[in-house]
Amino acid sequence: MHVDKISAWYGPKLAIQDISLDFEEHSVSGIIGPSGCGKSTLIRCLNRMHETIPKAKVEGQVLLDGQDIYDQPAVSVRRRIGMVFQKPNPFPTMSIYDNVAAGLRLNGVRERKKLDVAVLESLKQAALWDEVKDSLDKSGSSLSGGQQQRLCIARALAVRPEVLLMDEPCSALDPIATAKIEDLIFDLKKDYTLVIVTHNMQQAARVAETTAFMYLGKLIEVGRTRELFERPREALTESYITGRFG
């Protein structure tokens, strides 16, 4: 996935400016930066979620398989590029099974067998199957926070997206639940291209192959995670990762 000169606004306020960036296939790309630097806005531009906010505007291109997602219907773009949000947001009135099946049903899949298989596979991929296999008909909101987040990951995976975007997926979770999700991210990159926004630098260092550092709506530096953390080229990056601000 290739991002080309993306800028985004909330009303008159410019949130990110002229960002160009590559995300490698089947790898994990991290985006870090202090609060308000525009990292969430950037990731929301990657599956056209940004424009669902009233008065929000985007300019630039995001190429997936060589084609600009802004030339395609937003609905089909979001089926190819899934997203997991900061706060787990399962559908509370649906069972665990129905939560995972929701996206497939939107795509018109009605066959029980197909749904069964997809739910099983997605829950396994999200490392949740063993914990919920006996309670698939329970409400999604009966799970713990970490389980809910993995349920949301399973829900996003069920439609077999090419890319999975994660917007601070662990910020509402405790350290144990966080560790589980990080392990999961590591496993998922075999099959998916992952982009993860995090304000937690250690997390980026642990899971991401490449990391981008953003500040005040601009992309400051991007590189192999190890290099970025050990030998940052920019002074700004260095002061951020050494904890001098942010």
Partner 1 sequence: MHVFETLRGRTRLRLRATPGDLAFEGLSTFIALAVVGLLVLITVILYLAAAESIRTYGLGFLSGSVWDSVSQRFGAAPFIYGMLVTSALALLLGVPVSLGIAIFLSELSPAWLRIPLTFIVELLAAVPSVVYGLWGIFILGPAMRVYIEPGVQAVLGFLPLFQGHPIGSDVFTAGVILAIMIIPTISAVSREALLAVPDSQREAALSLGATRWETTRLGVLRYARAGIFGAAILGLGRAVGETMAVTMTIGNRAAFFGSLFEPGQTIASQIASRWLDAVPPLELGALIQLGLVLMLVSLFINLFARLMVGRFLRVGEGAE
CB 214 within 8 A of CB 13: no
Please, what's the b/e burial string for 129-164 (b: 16 or more CB within 10 A of its CB; e: otherwise)?
A: bebbeeebeebbeebeebbbbbbbbbbbbbbbbebb
β partners of residue 4: 61
Rank residues 196 and 205 by Cβ distance to partner 1 and give the closer one: 196
Tell me how far, at minimum, the Cβ of 67 lies from partner 1, in Å: 17
Tell me how far, at minimum, the Cβ of 18 lies from partner 1, in Å: 26
Q: Per the structure block, which two tokens stand in for 78?
A: 């979001």
For the chain, the farthest-separated pair of C-alpha atoms sits apart, in whole angstroms, at 56
Tell me how far, at minimum, the Cβ of 93 lies from partner 1, in Å: 5
Three-state DSSP class for 4? strand
Helix (H) or strand (E) holding 195: strand 193-197
Binding site for partner 1 (CB under 8 A): 47, 49, 52, 54, 75-79, 82-83, 85, 87, 89-94, 102-103, 106-107, 152, 155-156, 159
C-alpha to C-alpha distance for 184 and 56, rounded to whole angstroms: 33
Rank residues 172 and 179 by Cβ distance to partner 1 and give the closer one: 172
Q: Estimate to the nearest angstrom the gap between the alpha carbon of 96 and the chain centroid.
A: 21
Rank residues 39 and 78 by Cβ distance to partner 1 and give the closer one: 78
Rank residues 63 and 102 by Cβ distance to partner 1 and give the closer one: 102
Three-state DSSP class for 163? strand
Rank residues 75 and 235 by Cβ distance to partner 1 and give the closer one: 75
Tell me how far, at minimum, the Cβ of 72 lies from partner 1, in Å: 12
Q: Per the structure block, which two tokens stand in for 67?
A: 């084609």
Rank residues 85 and 215 by Cβ distance to partner 1 and give the closer one: 85
Cα separation of the two ends of the chain: 28
Tell me how far, at minimum, the Cβ of 19 lies from partner 1, in Å: 21
Rank residues 96 and 205 by Cβ distance to partner 1 and give the closer one: 96
Phi, psi torsion values for 17, nearest 5 degrees: -130, 120
Q: Per the structure block, which two tokens stand in for 115?
A: 């749904």
Tell me how far, at minimum, the Cβ of 206 lies from partner 1, in Å: 25
Please, what's the b/e burial string for 170-189 (b: 16 or more CB within 10 A of its CB; e: otherwise)?
A: bebbeeebbebbbebbeebb
Tell me how far, at minimum, the Cβ of 105 lies from partner 1, in Å: 9
